[in-house]
């Protein structure tokens, strides 16, 4: 009996050791497999607008959308945007714009980004200059309303077909929150004030951005993927309409002083994100250097199979001006802002926004985490947050 008891105890210890090893290995494999974000909530401007502006102020015209969707899709591009490639990477459907009443599905997130929107609250000056009333503070209100109404309806709704198109209340805190904004704040300043004044305005803009992050955190957001702003001085509409003088041209031919404004914005944004990490306990804030990815593409366009970076595919700038998808009378002749027919060879779609091919190229450079702080792939952005993985 005594000897048998020892054998039994020994066997139990062996079984327990095996079980512990299995659990340990399984946890390691779980970490390696990355995150399983149930949803994405995106805020920003036209770089990630999948249809808010189109739903609110008039449909984006063809030839936008021609390369991937075969029709206008609310995106100011010939096809997909970086936010679409983010959704693909996370194995989630494309985000429905919050303002679109037709066929929207918010089960896996929502997109609040709007073309021409700013971080600064839209006032009469911004709106009068052609910028959107759907600024970041309004997008936050839309998010809060979506969350509040989802919570209400999930308790009351009896129709599963209806609730299946809504987020799960418990998943708001497990979602990925992406932000891509700031370009229009700088553009407004550069068009209406001096470069010195724009730089002086950056701390206030960054503070307003930080307020938005804190509000999302208070609402339960924990994982943030934050893009800095791109090289404004390399946009074809800038280079063509404001050709840089020799002493103000960088090696790529971009307007150096405009890019320096963007770089200063990005420096202060990165610093503030670092501060927020210390303030927002249990959150993960990932700063993504999209500027470097875009500038690398623009400065070596031919190397990566693209034509000159200052040649937009749709519309025309320079000796005459025709917006993409619109018509204009030039010397008595009506001209349509058509597509070049080969958007895959162009970086710029319409002089401001990128083609699907360029968006995909940039997405491939940022999603692996090599341009992020901390350097972590988007598929593992949730790991070690509040000691919880999902």
pLDDT in tens, 176-213: 999 999 999 999 999 999 999 999 999 999 999 999 99
CA–CA gap between residue 231 and residue 183 (Å, rounded): 9
CA–CA gap between residue 62 and residue 74 (Å, rounded): 10
Paired sense of beta strands 327-330 and 284-288, if any: unpaired
Contact status, residue 252 vs residue 295, Cβ threshold 8 Å: yes
Determine whether 350 is an active site residue: yes
Closest CA to 46 of 87, 88, 74, 78: 74
Structure confidence at residue 33 as a pLDDT band (50, 70, 90): low
Closest CA to 98 of 150, 156, 63, 60: 150
Average pLDDT, integer, range 223-249: 97
Strand stretches in the chain, DSSP E: 40-44, 109-111, 176-180, 223-227, 284-288, 327-330, 333-336, 372-373
pLDDT at 14 over 80: no
Determine whether 49 is an active site residue: no
In the chain, pLDDT over 70 holds for what percent of residues? 88
Supply the pLDDT for residue 74: 98
Which residues on adjacent β-strands are paired with residue 224? 177, 285
Average pLDDT, integer, range 1-10: 42
Quickly tell me which residue has 């999948």 as its tokens: 50
Supply the pLDDT for residue 163: 73
Catalytic residue among 53, 84, 185, 350: 350
Q: With helix as H, strand as E and coil as C, how does 119-170 read?
A: CCCCCHHHHHCCCCCCCHHHHHHHHHHHHHHHHHHHHHCCCHHHHCCCCCHH
Supply the pLDDT for residue 100: 96
Q: What is the largest CA-CA distance in the chain?
A: 108
Structure confidence at residue 31 as a pLDDT band (50, 70, 90): very low
pLDDT at 22 over 70: no
pLDDT at 254 over 90: yes
CA–CA gap between residue 230 and residue 235 (Å, rounded): 9
Supply the pLDDT for residue 25: 33
CA–CA gap between residue 315 and residue 65 (Å, rounded): 14
pLDDT at 19 over 70: no
Q: With helix as H, strand as E and coil as C, how does 201-235 read?
A: HHHHHHHHHHHHHHHHHHCCCCEEEEECCCCHHHC
Quickly tell me which residue has 């303002």 as its tokens: 99
Determine whether 339 is an active site residue: no
For 7, the token pair is 């054998």
For 192, the token pair is 């209406």
Report how far apart the first and last C-alpha atoms of the chain are (Å, whole number): 47
Average pLDDT, integer, range 350-369: 98
Catalytic residue among 45, 46, 48, 132: 46
Q: List all residues 6 or more positions away from 370 whose beta carbon is below 8 Å from its beta carbon.
A: none
Kindly report the pTM of this predicted structure.
0.90
Chain segment 257-292, per-residue pLDDT in tens? 999 999 999 999 999 999 999 999 999 999 999 999
Catalytic residue among 108, 227, 316, 353: 353
Quickly tell me which residue has 């494999």 as its tokens: 29
């Amino acid at each position: 009996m005594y000897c048998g008891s020892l054998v039994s105890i020994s066997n139990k210890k062996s079984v327990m050791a095996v079980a512990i090893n299995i659990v340990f290995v399984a946890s390691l494999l779980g970490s390696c497999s990355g995150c399983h974000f149930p949803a994405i909530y995106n805020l920003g401007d036209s770089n990630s607008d999948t249809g808010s502006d189109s739903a609110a102020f008039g449909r984006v015209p063809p030839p936008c959308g021609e390369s991937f969707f075969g029709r206008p899709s609310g995106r100011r591009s010939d096809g997909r945007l970086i936010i679409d490639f983010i959704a693909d990477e996370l194995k989630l459907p494309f985000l429905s714009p919050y303002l679109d009443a037709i066929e929207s599905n918010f089960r896996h997130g929502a997109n609040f980004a709007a073309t021409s929107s700013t971080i600064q609250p839209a006032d009469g000056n911004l709106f009068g200059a052609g910028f959107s009333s759907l600024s970041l503070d309004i997008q936050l209100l839309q998010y809060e309303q979506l969350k509040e109404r989802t919570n209400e309806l999930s308790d009351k709704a009896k129709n599963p077909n209806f609730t299946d198109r809504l987020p799960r209340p418990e998943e708001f805190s497990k979602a990925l929150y992406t932000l891509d904004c700031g370009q229009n704040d700088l553009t407004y300043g550069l068009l209406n004030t001096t470069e010195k004044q724009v730089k002086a305005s950056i701390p206030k803009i960054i503070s307003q951005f930080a307020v938005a992050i804190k509000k999302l955190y208070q609402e339960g957001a924990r994982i943030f993927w934050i893009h800095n702003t791109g090289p404004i001085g390399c946009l074809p509409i800038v280079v063509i309409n404001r050709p840089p003088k020799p002493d103000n041209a960088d090696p790529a031919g971009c307007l150096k002083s405009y890019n320096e404004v963007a770089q200063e914005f990005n420096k202060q944004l990165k610093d503030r994100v670092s501060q927020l990490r210390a303030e927002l306990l249990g959150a993960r804030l990932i700063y993504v250097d999209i500027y470097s990815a875009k500038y690398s593409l623009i400065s070596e366009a031919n190397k990566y199979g693209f034509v000159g970076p200052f040649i937009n595919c749709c519309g025309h700038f320079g000796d005459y001006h025709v917006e993409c998808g619109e018509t204009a009378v030039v010397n008595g002749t009506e001209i349509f802002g058509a597509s070049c027919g080969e958007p895959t060879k162009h970086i710029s779609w319409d002089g401001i926004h990128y083609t699907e091919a360029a968006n995909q190229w940039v997405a491939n450079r940022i999603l692996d985490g090599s341009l992020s702080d901390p350097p972590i792939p988007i598929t593992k952005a949730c790991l070690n947050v509040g000691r919880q993985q999902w």
